Amino acid sequence: MSVYASSALSSHERSATRDRLGADCFVCGSVESVDVAHIIPQGSGSNTMLLDMRTWAAALLTFSKKSQENFMVLCPSHHRDYDDGKYTLVPTPAARADMIEHELTEFAEREQKIAEGRTDTGRTLWYPPQIEYGFEYIPISKKPLIQVFNETAYRTGFVFTTTDTLPHPGSPINVHPYALLAKAHGPLSQHGRFKNTRTNSAAADVIRLLSLYHRPIGPAAIPSGITPAAAVVLEDAVSVVAAASGGTATMPGMVALPGIPAAPHGGVAATSGAVMHGHGQGSSVQTPTDETEGGIG
């Protein structure tokens, strides 16, 4: 068994990778000869990918192309195909679902902190065992068949069946999930990629996660303690009044509106000091003038 890698890697780096990940190809299980491969490629063409990934969270600021977490073990054939974009690897469906749920929940909590004047400590990331170990093989240019070597001894250690249809449950293989996302985004965004239910699901999840990680953070739009149903009613009411008055409303508790819509008789309300009382069903907009002068009940 031989482990090869680019001359850019030292013998210590190759040995450390083999000790951490084993010396079997992640995709097919070959033990004949394997390479230490990069998830984020070495070339300067991947610099933008790496710099973008570092903006997602403070924990990624020190991640580099030479980080141990950026290495994986592939046979020469699958190494070449991975670098050429013929397939990609992504976190498992369960891991992706947990990553999305964590980001949505935490982002809302961060917005609420800002709205309350507390310090936003930034995004946190989940890693195994908070999310499921392993990864999923996603063909890009065609659907290949995966040959699993040494099935009797190694089958439970690998992610795929011989027909490339199902991930093996409980794969112990652990790679950096966020590096996989950064690398997979380009291939999965290609219009002409291979499409089936599994690849489409992976593409939707990866594209959504990167979109979520690029969102700007600001104060929560809806005060705490408002149910989702009430929030929808509140947002609808505010948007109607704001649109009618030509202004924008904010919602820190009682919603001050910058203007009042035209009165039913064609005139203009006497004041712009309208406020919204309550949230959800039964809420109302009140003005100091008569309720027929442009108010919305």
Q: Of 160-169, 205-214, 242-251, where does the model show the most confidence?
A: 205-214
pLDDT at 216: 94
What residues are paired with 277 via a beta bridge? 284
Q: How many helices (H) and strands (E) does the chain have?
A: 8, 8
Calculate the alpha carbon distances from 276 to 11, 223, 235 in Å: 68, 14, 11
* Closest alpha carbon to 168 in 81, 82, 92: 92
Percent of the chain scoring above 70 in pLDDT: 60
CA-nearest of 51, 48, 46 to 63 is 51
Kind plus residue range of the DSSP H or E element containing 277 = strand 274-277
Q: What is the mean pLDDT of the chain?
A: 73
Q: How many CA atoms lie within 13 A of 175 on its CB side?
A: 33
State the average pLDDT over residues 255-272: 41
C-alpha to C-alpha distance for 118 and 114, rounded to whole angstroms: 5
Give the residue, 43 or 102, on which the prediction is more confident: 102
Kindly indicate the confidence band of residue 21, based on its pLDDT and cuts at 50, 70 and 90. confident
What is the model's pLDDT at position 143?
58
Give me the mean pLDDT over the 150-160 stretch: 42
pLDDT of residue 217: 93
**Cα-flanking dihedrals φ and ψ of residue 98, to 5°?**
-70, -35
For residues 254-271, average pLDDT? 41
pLDDT of residue 127: 92
pLDDT for the residue numbered 189: 96
8-22, 71-85, 276-290: segment of lowest average pLDDT: 276-290
Question: Residue 149 pLDDT > 50, yes or no?
Answer: no
At 185, the pLDDT band (50, 70, 90 cuts) reads: very high
Write down the pLDDT at residue 40: 96
The 10s digit of each residue's pLDDT in 89-131 is: 999 899 999 999 999 999 999 999 999 999 999 999 999 889 9
What's the rounded mean pLDDT across residues 185-203?
92
pLDDT > 90 in the chain, percent: 38
**Distance in angstroms (rounded) separating the CA atoms of residues 82 and 24:** 16
From 45-54, 133-142, 194-203, the region with the lowest mean pLDDT: 133-142
- pLDDT above 70 for 296: no
pLDDT of residue 208 exceeding 70, the answer is: yes
The predicted-structure confidence for 241-250, as pLDDT tens digits, reads as follows: 444 445 444 4
Contact in structure between 198 and 174 (CB atoms under 8 Å):
no
Q: How far is CA 66 from CA 8, 69, 71, in A?
A: 9, 8, 8
Higher pLDDT, 85 or 153: 85
87: pLDDT strictly greater than 70: yes
Give pLDDT, residue 26.
82
Token output for 287: 């003005």
- What pLDDT does residue 27 have? 80
